[in-house]
Amino acid sequence: MANSPSGDSMLDRLVRILDAFDAHNPQLTVSALSRRADIPKATTYRLLDELVSHDLLARDNTGQVRLGLRLWELANRSAATYDLRTAALPFMEDINQLLGQNTQLSVLHQDEVLIIERLSRPGSVVNQANVAGRMPVHRTSMGMALLAFSRPEIIRGFLERHRELMTAAHPDFHAEIAEIRRIGFASLDGFIDSETTGVAAPILDEAGYQVAVISVVVPRDTGALQPAALALRTAARGIARALHIRDN
């Protein structure tokens, strides 16, 4: 694919345009899109027309741009994600009913927690997870459970890239992940919201490494932590069996 005069390829620019949208910016003006993607406005207009023609982006009558439905359609064809969501949903529904809190399914992707499914619950506590949204590893029970049950080389690589951040947030990191592995779940009090506790249990493969986590956020200091942890661990084992992963 041909490079632009600045040296980046057309594919690089297309990806930057799509990546400009996030949970906080689901719609953008062309000027904002050009700025966030770091692409000249004239080029942004040209690429935007191409992307809109393929329904990868959509433009409303005010000129605002958003991601197109075809992206959602293509993403949901991903075999790994589809199988995981299909296996997890019945167990997530049980957790959602049992605990009365929003329930998430997430994976570790590019050093962040990527939410791939979320079941809402009226009256639940504050929960900032959104489908297709990303959250920091060091500030979420999801992230710490995913990291604790990752392969050793993944943990080493993550620490090399984010050592200062992890040391500040988790000064006893190695002891902390050892404890998470021992008890089979991660919990964090008040890292995102001071009144809540995040709880996450890993879905493990045959070697005992994570393929995803299932999680909830519960009210802090209410006695809800242990029942939530037990329910999540049970659900995680059920999801693993549904994925045809034998019990560890």
Tens-place pLDDT, residues 4-21: 555 578 899 999 999 999
Domain around 35? 10-74
Q: How far apart are CA 236 and CA 238, in angstroms?
A: 5
- My answer on whether 65 and 177 are in the same domain is no
86 plus 206 within the same structural domain:
yes
Q: Taking a C-beta distance cutoff of 8 angstroms, is the pair 84, 75 a contact?
A: no
Give yes or no: residues 64 and 109 share one domain.
no
Pick from 18, 45, 74: which residue ends a domain? Answer: 74
Per-residue pLDDT tens for 79-116? 667 789 999 999 999 999 999 998 999 999 989 999 99
Does residue 216 share a domain with residue 118?
yes
Residue 3 lies inside a defined structural domain of this protein: no
Number of domains in the chain: 2
Residues of the chain where predicted confidence (pLDDT) is lower than 50? 1-2
Tokens of 228: 């939530």
Q: Are 111 and 158 in contact (CB under 8 A)?
A: yes
CATH number at residue 142: 3.30.450.40
Domain boundary among 38, 53, 74: 74
Domain CATH number, residue 15: 1.10.10.10
pLDDT for the residue 139: 92
Burial track 7-45 (b if 16+ CB lie within 10 A, e otherwise): eeeeebbbebbeebbeeeeeebeeeebbebbebeeebbe
Q: Same structural domain for residues 68 and 88?
A: no
Q: Which pTM does this prediction carry?
A: 0.77
Q: Tell me what pLDDT residue 247 has.
A: 54
- 207-239 in b/e form (b: 16+ CB < 10 A) is eeebbbbbbbbbebeeebbeebbebbbebbbbb
